Amino acid sequence: MKLLNTLAVGFSLVAAPLLAEGHASGDADAGAKVFAKCKACHSIVADDDTVIERGGKIGPNLYGVYTRQAGSVEDFRYGDSIVEAGAAGLMWNEADFVSYLADPKKFLAEYLDDSKARSKMAFRLNDDEDAANVWAYLVSVGPEVAEKAETEATN
């Protein structure tokens, strides 16, 4: 079993960039560097409590953000507008993620068609390429990579 786990982890490191390519246009390696700006507020911790990126707890855990409903991490206190956006159907994808990072308040106001919408996230990442790279990085370390690695290792 230990060998199988080691193979799965090894495969996930190789497969991560390939999987990210299918769901992200950015460069995952470059995104890992840009993520340093995000670590003040966000961490990336797998469902089994494996720490991928140690960071702050001001923002929600970003593990598995790909296609996750906005405002839905258990035990995290979101602002009303992001929860409302999630309830209205916002599932994170690259385009929305990049737009949100550029201006969270503006994104939510437009998504909800409500000029009074607010975001607790004050940080902005105005460079679309950097934001796409962060997205690629998050996808590359997400559960999709681990699941694919396990499937490949057992076949």
Residue 13 pLDDT > 80, yes or no?
Answer: no
Residue 72 lies in a domain: yes
Residue 13 lies in a domain: no
Q: How many residues does the chain have?
A: 155
Residue 136 pLDDT > 50, yes or no?
Answer: yes
* Residue 119 and residue 82 in contact, taking contact as beta carbons nearer than 8 Å: yes
Residue 5 pLDDT > 80, yes or no?
Answer: no
Reading the block at residue 9, the tokens are 């982890």
Which residue segment(s) compose the domain that 104 sits in? 26-137
Residue 88: CB atoms within 10 Å:
11
pLDDT per residue as tens digits for the range 94-112: 999 999 999 999 999 999 9
- The reported pLDDT for the residue numbered 33 is 98
Residue 146 lies in a domain: no
CATH number of 30's domain: 1.10.760.10
Q: How far apart, in whole angstroms, are the C-alpha atoms of residue 74 and residue 77?
A: 8
Residue 11 lies in a domain: no
Q: How far apart, in whole angstroms, are the C-alpha atoms of residue 17 and residue 28?
A: 7
Domains in the chain, number: 1
Reading the block at residue 81, the tokens are 């507008």
Residue 142 lies in a domain: no
Answering whether pTM is above 0.85, one says: no
Average pLDDT, the chain: 86
- The reported pLDDT for the residue numbered 144 is 74
Dihedral (CA of 138, 83, 89, 108) sign: negative
State residue 52 phi and psi, 5-degree precision.
-90, -45
- The reported pLDDT for the residue numbered 22 is 52
Residue 152 lies in a domain: no
Residue 3 lies in a domain: no
pLDDT per residue as tens digits for the range 51-72: 999 999 999 999 999 989 999 9
